């Protein structure tokens, strides 16, 4: 069994917070263990809770289209969420739930070691761009050690506010350049850990 399959099985057994009582299925995330690009959403919604798969409802269909815009298939990227179980009535995740679920996302990042992590929406942005606002930093990247974090609006926000579609699509089209930047940085040997916005 691969390390990622084992980790997913462990996540599926998690009962570390109250959300375990309300869920139908845990939604650990999905994608290849060697994915270069990893997307982090907020939390499963109704469709995801029913199926155990991330981003399979309307926001997910739009995310698939966005991924297609940069010539990739959904099966080539890893898709995860900050929270692995659906909050009742799709309420916002609570700080304690984000805290207790955090170790699963960290373990996924350690195993997959993607080149670029894309945060979708406020909750995943807050993890990697603390204190920032999405309207200010969407479409911008920050490098921490050897991973580049790139902030985007949540696809559901663009579905609800039509004017955000152009913005999210323009940000998506920057990703091939960000990936190329990440590859170039990896080739520079012995580069010290650093934090850069560009």
* Contacting residues toward ligand URA, per CB under 6 A: 41-45, 48, 54-55, 57, 59-60, 81, 156
Q: Quick one: 37 or 182, whose CB is closer to ligand URA?
A: 37
Distance of closest approach, residue 20 Cβ to ligand URA, in angstroms: 17
Distance of CA 175 to CAs 4, 69, 155, Å? 25, 10, 15
CA 10 to chain centre: 19
Distance of closest approach, residue 191 Cβ to ligand URA, in angstroms: 33
In the block, tokens 């942005």 appear at: 125
CA 13 to chain centre: 21
Gyration radius of the chain over CA positions: 16
Q: Give the CB-nearest residue to ligand URA.
A: 41
DSSP state of 30: B
Distance of closest approach, residue 82 Cβ to ligand URA, in angstroms: 8
| Residues in the chain, overall count | 198
Q: Quick one: 81 or 108, whose CB is closer to ligand URA?
A: 81
Q: Quick one: 42 or 171, whose CB is closer to ligand URA?
A: 42
Q: Quick one: 114 or 181, whose CB is closer to ligand URA?
A: 114
Distance of closest approach, residue 124 Cβ to ligand URA, in angstroms: 8
DSSP state of 154: -
């Amino acid at each position: 069994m691969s390390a990622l399959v084992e980790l997913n099985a462990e996540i599926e057994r998690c009962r570390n917070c109250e959300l375990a009582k309300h869920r139908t299925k845990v939604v650990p995330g999905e994608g290849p263990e060697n994915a270069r690009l990893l997307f982090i959403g907020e939390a499963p919604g109704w469709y995801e809770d029913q199926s155990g798969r991330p981003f399979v409802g309307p926001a997910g269909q739009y995310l698939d289209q966005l991924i297609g815009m940069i010539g990739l298939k959904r099966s080539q990227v890893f898709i995860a969420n900050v929270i692995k179980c659906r909050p009742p009535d799709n309420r916002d995740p609570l700080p304690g739930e984000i805290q207790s679920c955090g170790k699963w996302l960290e373990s996924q990042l350690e195993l997959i070691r993607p080149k670029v992590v894309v945060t979708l929406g406020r909750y995943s942005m807050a993890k990697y761009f603390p204190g920032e606002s999405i309207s200010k930093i969407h479409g911008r990247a920050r490098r921490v050690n050897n991973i580049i974090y790139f902030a985007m609006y949540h696809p559901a926000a663009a579905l609800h506010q039509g004017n955000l579609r152009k913005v999210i699509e323009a940000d998506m089209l920057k990703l091939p350049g960000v990936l190329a930047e990440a590859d170039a940085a990896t080739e520079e040997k012995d580069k010290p850990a650093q934090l850069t916005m560009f």
